Structure 1
Amino acid sequence: MIQIGIDVGGTKIEAAALDANGQFLARVRSPNPGNYDGAIRTIGELIARAESEAGAMGSIGVGTPGSISPRDGLMRNSNATFLNGRAFREDLETALGRQVRMANDANCMALSEAVDGAAAGARSAFAVIVGTGVGGGLVVDGHIVEGANGMGGEWGHVPLPWMTAAEYPGPSCWCGQSGCLDMLISGTGFRQDHAARSGQMLDGAAIVEAARHGEADAVASLDAYVDRLGRALAMIANIVDPDVFVFGGGMSNVEAIYARLPAVIDRYSFGGDWKGQVVPARWGDSSGVRGAARLWPR
């Protein structure tokens, strides 16, 4: 049987069909309609299109922003807010008449990269998603670690570790806390930090390019970003100590961070003897939909 993966994004919903070797048999997408009933209808249409192109029916896995509460089965913490408080998996199964497996989109990315991506062969991998916000997912021995409360990997909503006096208490976060990584090491946080330093609101690529040419404020912004990101990763290393950190999201395209982060992680990790890997995702933007498909074993 083939595997169908669904990636529910903020602006689009994508479906892909994979064969037993992980090759794409079909890949289709539609705009996210931005409402609950429309999303369920769109997912059904995309599955039908993917299976038609692939010429077979498949198992169905769905990657979503947010997570399912293990207590009441309802969605929570999704930036696609129309999903929150809804029994999304059950309603989708009713609409499709088929069984569905569902996981957080960052967990799906981690699974994809652990199966046949940049972390293939590693016992443990932590997915680092740094884009508009910050997400994460942990896979150990080929299995997603969601935790007892379904909150595993939610490192975006812990405070920046080893804050300096100038950083404390950090900006207020939409979650209600202050100093969250989501506000400081996301692409958004990178841009805002540079704007506060230079008075210029530039996108991340422009800041990195300016730093490459030696522009002082841009160099300082990139240095501060790498140090904060390294501190955050060192905290994960001290708790989980994954073999591989795999990066996705817009900031994963900043090639300069990969050579610089290991030394920062090593400096802040307990004992100062960290020797893990920091690598970009092999499958890039395809990791989410591939990981969703892989929620069912081959």
Structure 2
Amino acid sequence: MANRSRLLGVDLGGTKIEAALLDLQGAVTHRARCKTPRENYAETLSAICELCEQLESSANLTERLPLGICTPGSPSPDTGLMRNCNSTSLNGHTLCNDLEEICARPVRMANDADCMTLSEASDGAGTEEQVVFGVILGTGVGGGAAINRSLLHGPNAISGEWGHNPMPLARVNELPESLQYPRLCYCGREDCIETWLSGPGLALTHEQLHREPIVVEQLSKGTPNNRHRETLALYNDLLSTALAGIVNVLDPDLVVFGGGLSNIPFIYTEVPRLLASKVFSDVCRTKLKPAKHGDSSGVRGAAWLWGNA
């Protein structure tokens, strides 16, 4: 590393932008945030630059640090234009190049699931593991893979996007008759894993099973009633079925979970048992853990994009 004592990361979210400085052991030394400018690309670039300069000034740094940034969506490997961003003002722009120009510093970029994975592999739940697969279970379902604390990149820039694989057909065909399928995914396909394992997917499953709405956060707090248990049992079975495909292909040492649904305790007691019966092995030694750094994983992972530079 080129004589740097800090790593600089930014988490660009739909409602807020968070920036942080990390020391080389992963401790956050300085942090700042602001609201994300609403549907204004130029103001978003300016806000990111201002946060970076604010942190460097607070830390009495005399030179600009390279920037790692965590984004929704990702740049196309063909055009470099941002795609699939729920912050729609980013779509169609060369965000990485534009930031390098306006902030006058080198920039590395990864999506939120990749940054969570890198954070946890670098100094979180997966510090001691060689192969880590990160899973986001929230409004959507995302993922990323890190090997020896380095993100796995591919030619299509979609490594880890297991949420848009189809839920295995044999399992879907065994679902209770009360569940309506196929489920249409926003990507245009049917029965993507995301349509079953995301927060909205889980809520829809419960509503169709029991003809009652549910607030998903209820499942991570308190003692679930019998209806909740039935929904969770089905969810855990679907989750283990989908994860078995990942384990069969990647054989990770650890699967680490982030996102709102990662707080459901039954995931860590029931899914390992179910997973062992679904993988192509007589034993499943892959560990399942929640993210150590929680909501801070995005900005931390962004900073760690420069951790080996």
- TM superposition shift of 1:160: 1.0
Aligned to 1:50: 55
| 1:13-92 paired onto structure 2 within 5 Å | 13-35=17-39, 36-56=41-61, 57-92=64-99
SS in 1 for 2:46: helix
**Aligned partner of 2:172: which letter?**
T
Q: Cα deviation per residue 1:151-205 (whole Å; 9 max; x = unaligned)?
A: 1111111111242325485310000000011111011111111111222222112
Aligned to 1:131: 138
TM-score normalised over the length of structure 2: 0.91
Report the alpha carbon displacement of residue 272 of structure 1 after superposing the two structures with TM: 4.0
Structure-2 separation of matches of 1:136 and 1:54: 33
Superposition pairs of residues 153-168 of structure 1, within 5 angstroms: 153-161=160-168, 162-165=170-173, 167=175
**In 2, Cα distance between the equivalents of 1:109 and 1:207?**
23
Compute the TM-score of the two structures, normalised by the length of structure 1: 0.94
Distance across 1 between alignment mates of 2:213 and 2:153:
37
Q: Gaps spanning 5+ residues in structure 1: where?
A: none
Q: Give the AA of the match of 2:127.
A: A
8 Å contact from structure 2 (residues 118, 149) kept in 1: yes
CA–CA separation in structure 1 for the residues paired with 2:52 and 2:115:
18
106-115 or 50-59: which moved more? 50-59
Sequence identity percentage: 42
Matched residue pairs, number? 296
Shift of 1:55: 2.1
Match of 2:252 in 1: 242
Contact map agreement 1:59 1:293 (CA 8 A) in 2: no
| Counterpart position of 1:116 | 123
**Distance in 2 separating the partners of 1:58 and 1:277:** 36
Q: CA deviation at 1:108?
A: 1.0
Instruction: Say if 1:170 and 1:180, in contact at 8 Å, map to a contact too.
Output: no
Gaps of 5+ in 2: none
For the 8 Å contact 1:114–1:142, the answer to whether it is kept is: yes
Q: CA RMSD in A?
A: 1.6
1:38-67 per-position Cα deviation (integer Å, ceiling 9, x unaligned): 211111111122212222242210011111
Q: 1:205 corresponds to which residue?
A: 217
The answer (yes or no) to whether the contact 2:220–2:263 under 8 Å persists in 1 is: no
One-letter code of the match for 2:173? A
Q: Counterpart in 2 of 1:178?
A: 190
2:274 to 251, 264, 270: 264
The aligned counterpart of 1:192 is 204
Counterpart Cα distance in 2 of 1:16 and 1:102: 15
Q: Which segments of structure 1 move beyond 6 Å, counting only runs of 4 or more?
A: none
Cα distance in structure 1, aligned partners of 2:153 and 2:181? 29
Deviation at 1:261, TM superposition (A): 1.0
What residue is the counterpart of 1:105 in the other structure?
112
Q: Give distance in 2, aligned partners of 1:195 and 1:54.
A: 51
C-alpha distance in structure 2 between counterparts of 1:267 and 1:37, whole Å: 52
